[in-house]
Amino acid sequence: MSLKTLLGSFRLGARSALAALAAAGIAIGLSVASTPAFADAGFQRWVQQFRSTAAQSGISGSTFDRAFQGVTAPDPEVLERARYQPEFVAPVWDYFDNRVNDNSVGVGRQMLRQHDRLLGQIEQRLGVDRHILLAIWSMESNYGEVLKNDRVMRNVVRSLSTLAYADERRQRFGRQQLIAALKILERGDIDVRHLTGSWAGAMGHTQFIPTSYQEWAVDFDGDGRRDIWNSIPDALASAANLLRANGWRSGHAWGYEVRLPEGRKFPAGTMSLAEWQRIGVVRTNGQGYPRPNDRAELKVLDGREGPAFLVLHNFNMLKRYNNADRYALAVGLLADQIAGQGQLARDWNRPFTRLSFNETQELQQHLLTRGYYDGNIDGKIGPASRDAIKAFQSRMGMQADGHPSKEVLTRIRGQ
Ligand code: CA
């Protein structure tokens, strides 16, 4: 099907047609989105139209022109990321192993010592526990490491205008965030060259989107600029401020790992910790509940064979940062381990023996050397690592489950 036919048959504007192409996964020779001759003219017209929208929101012409200097076409990689639909949700153990591991805990403890004074000041002024802030920092940007990766960090104005212009599902999001990003430039918190972020416009150590930045970013180091890209005090205090503003309860736990009594069903919804205790849901470490009247909800993410948790008010505050149970639980567990608690009493229901972070990197290195893998040696098992493991397993006549197991590592070491 030609693009012309497609445009005609859908009776859509160029932007919608692009989105339709993307949605249908239709490849017509060259990727349409990255064909500048087609994209440029439309995009540049769109930018000119958006200039007046921005002016209505108080963006000066000079800020606008500075922001769009050199931004002449949509970013094809942003569109590729925007249309990416994972074939399946990562298994729960992959999610947690990638985020709560000996490396993220170890670096977290290092940062705990390194930023002791700052973390104390933030606790005092904003009331959010230091371990929680470190865990968020780890989850969002790997303690700032991601910001050094030029393959990940992109021009925020270009990313957001790409979404606003060419991604049908995120048009509104893109426009709204773009206005907020231009306001950041207008105010002078950061210059345009350093206004970088993820493909979806998440920025700095704490990965705030521009509207979150507008609402919650703070200048904690007192230099007059809210710099979540380069100032660790500003970034961590901004994360604390988001939690505090949404109702974080200072000094309260996020939740507890619990043991479930055999052979009974559990009520959905919340009950007091005392009531949970009464029906036999107790902490795995044998301690009592410090605030028995607080209301808690049971979370079981990995079936009856996996770990179980009672989660409290602050768990839901973590979900304000990222609205997923997995996310909030990973922050809570990582914070607990950075604070010195041991690993889970009941491990994830992982059908293989877990590798350490270094072993996972070693496995990726072997896969790379042998031509199965061309991604980063980052100790994180994503779709590319899983596919590489599967390919290796098939080649060896093993069951191709894609799991980063001891068995696979042992086997590949011997190759
Ligand atoms: Ca500052």
Distance of CA 158 to the CA centre of its chain: 20
29 within a domain of the structure (yes/no): yes
The reply to whether 168 falls in a domain is yes
Q: Which domain holds residue 225?
A: 3-90+151-243
* CATH number for 388: 1.10.101
Q: What is residue 21's predicted lDDT score, i.e. its pLDDT? A: 38
- Give the pLDDT of residue 84: 81
Q: Indicate the residue among 210, 228, 243 that finishes a domain.
A: 243
Dist. CA 121 → ligand 1 center (Å): 15
206 and 62 in a common domain = yes
How many angstroms separate the alpha carbon of residue 315 from the centre of ligand 1? 29
- 23 and 160 fall within a common domain: yes
User: Are residues 228 and 363 located together in one domain of the fold?
Assistant: no
In a domain, 371, yes or no: yes
DSSP E strands in 111-239: the ranges are: 154-155, 196-197
> How far does the centroid of ligand 1 lie from the alpha carbon of residue 141, in Å?
19
H-only helix segments in 57-115 = 61-68, 76-83, 92-99, 102-114
Distance 226 CA to ligand 1 centre (A): 5
Q: Which residue has the tokens 């041991």?
A: 342
Residue 139 falls within a domain, yes or no? no
Count the domains in the chain: 2
Query: Cα of 224 to ligand 1 centre, how many Å?
Result: 6
Q: What is the CA(115)–ligand 1 centre distance, in A? A: 16
Nearest C-alpha neighbor of 338 from the set 94, 145, 122, 115? 115
Last residue of a domain, one of 218, 243, 268: 243
Q: Using the mean position of ligand 1's atoms as its centre, give its distance from the Cα of residue 338 in Å.
A: 26
Q: Measuring CA to CA, how many Å separate 180 from each of 3, 84, 219?
A: 34, 25, 17
Please indicate, yes or no, if residue 302 is contained in any of the structural domains. Answer: no
Whether residues 364 and 232 fall in one domain: no
Å from CA of 231 to ligand 1 middle: 6
Residues 184 and 217: beta-carbon distance below 8 Å: no
Q: Can you tell me the distance from the alpha carbon of 45 to that of 64, in angstroms, rounded to the nearest whole number? A: 14
Distance 204 CA to ligand 1 centre (A): 13
Read off the pTM.
Answer: 0.88
412 CA to centre of ligand 1 in angstroms: 49
End-to-end CA distance of the chain, in Å? 47
| Domain-terminating residue out of 243, 267, 286 | 243
pLDDT reported for residue 384: 92
Q: Using the mean position of ligand 1's atoms as its centre, give its distance from the Cα of residue 236 in Å.
A: 11
Examine residue 55 and state whether it is found in any structural domain, yes or no: yes
> Which residues touch 286 (CB under 8 Å, ≥6 apart)?
none
- Mind listing the pLDDT tens digit of every residue in the chain (415 residues)? 333 333 333 333 333 433 433 433 333 333 344 444 445 799 999 999 999 999 999 999 999 999 999 999 999 999 999 988 766 678 899 999 999 999 999 999 999 999 999 999 999 999 999 999 999 999 999 999 999 988 889 999 999 999 999 988 999 999 999 999 999 999 999 999 999 999 999 999 999 999 999 999 999 999 999 999 999 999 999 999 999 999 999 999 999 999 999 888 888 899 999 999 999 999 999 999 999 999 999 999 998 889 999 999 999 999 999 999 999 999 999 999 999 999 999 999 999 999 999 999 999 999 999 999 999 999 999 989 999 999 999 999 999 999 999 999 999 999 8
Distance 87 CA to ligand 1 centre (A): 41
Model pLDDT, residue 149: 87
pLDDT, residue 265, reads 86
Contact 187, 60 (CB under 8 A): no
How far apart are alpha carbons 43 and 34 in whole angstroms?
Answer: 12
Assess if residue 32 is contained within a domain.
yes
Instruction: Please tell me the predicted confidence (pLDDT) of residue 39.
Output: 52
pLDDT of residue 87: 65
Q: How many CB atoms lie within 10 A of CB 260?
A: 17
**CA of residue 249 to ligand 1 center, whole Å:** 26
Q: Give the SS3 label for residue 129.
A: coil
CATH number at residue 64: 1.10.8.350
Residue 110 lies in a domain: no
Q: How far is the CA of 69 from the centre of ligand 1 (A)?
A: 26
| Alpha carbon of 239 to ligand 1 centroid (Å) | 14
Q: How far is the CA of 241 from the centre of ligand 1 (A)?
A: 14
Give me the residue label for tokens 């072993």.
359
